[in-house]
Amino acid sequence: MDKKKPVYVLQIGMTKNIGGLETYLMQQFEHINNNIVRYDFVNITGEYDIVFSDKIKQAGSSIYNICSRHKNPILHYYQWIKLLSKYKNRYKAIVLNANSLEYVFPIFIAKFFGIKMRVIHSHNAGFENKIGICRKILIGFNKLLLNFGATHYLACSQKAGKWMFGNNKNFALVHNAINVDAYKYDLEKRQEMRKNLNLENKFVIGHVGRFVYQKNHKFLIDIFNEIHKILPEAMLLLIGDAVEDKSYLNEVKQKVKELNLEENVRFLGMRNDVPEIMQAMDCFLFPSRFEGLGIVIIEAQTAGLPCYVSSVIPNEVKITNLVDFISLNEFPGNWAEKIIKNKNYKRKDISKEIIKAGYDIDTEIKKVQNFYERECIQ
């Protein structure tokens, strides 16, 4: 009897930076059963390696490099046509993981090559920059292309789905699930990490995110400055880096310098040990201007951290009572007051609540596998 072949899925959306989207895809990639569903990836900015590329290749999956459409649009679209023409019989599904609808070409062209499942997955709920008339026209046109080409619409939250697809489009929610065991609170790991980072007897506030306008680091520094005035022993750990343009990162560093906070704010850059560093924190601060979901808030809750987040973030992120939504219209001092008031919170293992809410990758990946198997076989 012939061995059943896996469903091959072509994933688009990985970049060179570790963000929520990349974390989501890698969690699935590492936990999916390759005998049932196998992921390959397209790097649509082929000038740079995508993050986790070594792990992906070591696992036996393929990464196809396509040049950036911004640098050479004609070559970009030609390479897409060449790729799908060559592998049209291999892939049963193509998934565009998107932060906006400014780019939907893979979904459109995949229909012409007979790829059965053509999925658009929303991971965002706002624009980094102001949107002008040209971008509005482009997005409107791309929505028409999706109506023609897409077979399935997915989103990481209700807010992300409605923002990208509109109120009248049906879409399915897919949890940005995590490896709960890696993040759950562990006192022994906490003590070890605080010692390694020289954070003993400190009140440690943490943040994870790229240095871009969306993440609102300048306001975060204002909040921390108010905390530091009252708690001189307070420390702020900033995990993440700039994307390509480092101007915003430099502005944040300059602000830290102007406020004389250089000894209390640590820029840790990109890290592979975020779960361990979260153990060393005392609370998590996340004043983003917009988010599709905010997977790091799920991770921080799993670590047992009180989370102080902006009220624009989707409500789905509140899995436990550890999340406190605060308006961005509030003064930094008001944010600081709430954080200081709760500084003696005693952390505990709440991983069972995360699993019950459906954010454990081992549970969620089975649903994802069933989704691809069911839809591709029909």
What digits encode the pLDDT tens for the residues 197-249? 999 999 999 999 999 999 999 999 999 999 999 999 999 999 998 877 899 99
Count of structural domains within the chain: 2
The pLDDT confidence band at residue 129, using thresholds 50, 70 and 90, is low
- Give the whole-number percent of the chain exceeding pLDDT 90: 82
E strand or H helix that includes residue 248: helix 247-258
Q: What is the pLDDT of residue 1?
A: 40
Q: Please say whether the beta carbons of 115 and 141 come within 8 A.
A: no
Q: Please say whether the beta carbons of 116 and 84 come within 8 A.
A: no
Same-domain pairing of 364 and 345: no
Angle at 290 between CA 222 and CA 152, to 5 degrees: 160
pLDDT of 153 higher than 80:
yes
User: Is 1 contained in some domain?
Assistant: no
Of 110, 97, 189, nearest to 148 by C-alpha is 110
Q: Please say whether the beta carbons of 308 and 339 come within 8 A.
A: yes
Q: Which residue range is the domain that position 340 belongs to?
A: 180-356
- Give the whole-number percent of the chain exceeding pLDDT 70: 98
Same-domain pairing of 171 and 194: no
Give residue-wise pLDDT tens across range 72-82: 999 999 999 99
Which range is least confidently modeled, 94-108, 117-131, 205-219, 355-369? Answer: 117-131
Q: Please say whether the beta carbons of 62 and 43 come within 8 A.
A: no
175 or 284: which leads in pLDDT: 284
Of 97, 151, 84, nearest to 124 by C-alpha is 97
Mean per-residue pLDDT of the chain: 93
pLDDT of 3 higher than 70:
no
Angle at 3 between CA 89 and CA 92, to 5 degrees: 25
Radius of gyration of the chain (CA): 21
CA distances from 67 to 75, 98, 126 (A): 7, 18, 26
Q: What is the pLDDT of residue 98?
A: 94
Q: What is the pLDDT of residue 377?
A: 72
User: Is 270 contained in some domain?
Assistant: yes
130 or 14: which leads in pLDDT: 14
Same-domain pairing of 134 and 152: yes
With 0-12 / 13-18 / 19 or more C-beta atoms within 10 angstroms meaning exposed / middle / buried, residue 254 is exposed
Of 161, 187, 185, nearest to 173 by C-alpha is 161
Same-domain pairing of 129 and 231: no
Q: Please say whether the beta carbons of 175 and 359 come within 8 A.
A: yes
Q: Give alpha helix (H) positions in the chain.
A: 20-31, 53-58, 73-87, 105-112, 133-149, 158-165, 180-183, 187-196, 217-230, 247-258, 274-280, 295-302, 332-341, 351-356, 361-377
Average pLDDT of the residues in 156-180: 92
The CA distance from 287 to 289, in Å, is: 7
Angle at 322 between CA 321 and CA 328, to 5 degrees: 105
Beta bridge partners of 63: 41
pLDDT of 2 higher than 60:
no
List the structure tokens of 330. Answer: 């509030």
Q: Please say whether the beta carbons of 266 and 288 come within 8 A.
A: no
E strand or H helix that includes residue 50: none
Same-domain pairing of 239 and 154: no
User: Is 333 contained in some domain?
Assistant: yes
Same-domain pairing of 369 and 313: no
The pLDDT confidence band at residue 314, using thresholds 50, 70 and 90, is very high
- CATH of residue 51: 3.40.50.2000
Question: What's the longest Cα–Cα distance across the chain?
Answer: 72
Whether the model clears a pTM of 0.95, i.e. scores above it, the answer is no
Q: What is the pLDDT of residue 53?
A: 94
Same-domain pairing of 292 and 170: no
The pLDDT confidence band at residue 378, using thresholds 50, 70 and 90, is low
List the structure tokens of 60. Answer: 């036996």
The CA distance from 9 to 280, in Å, is: 38
In a 3-state reduction of DSSP, which class is residue 53?
A: helix
Q: What is the pLDDT of residue 211?
A: 94
The pLDDT confidence band at residue 328, using thresholds 50, 70 and 90, is very high
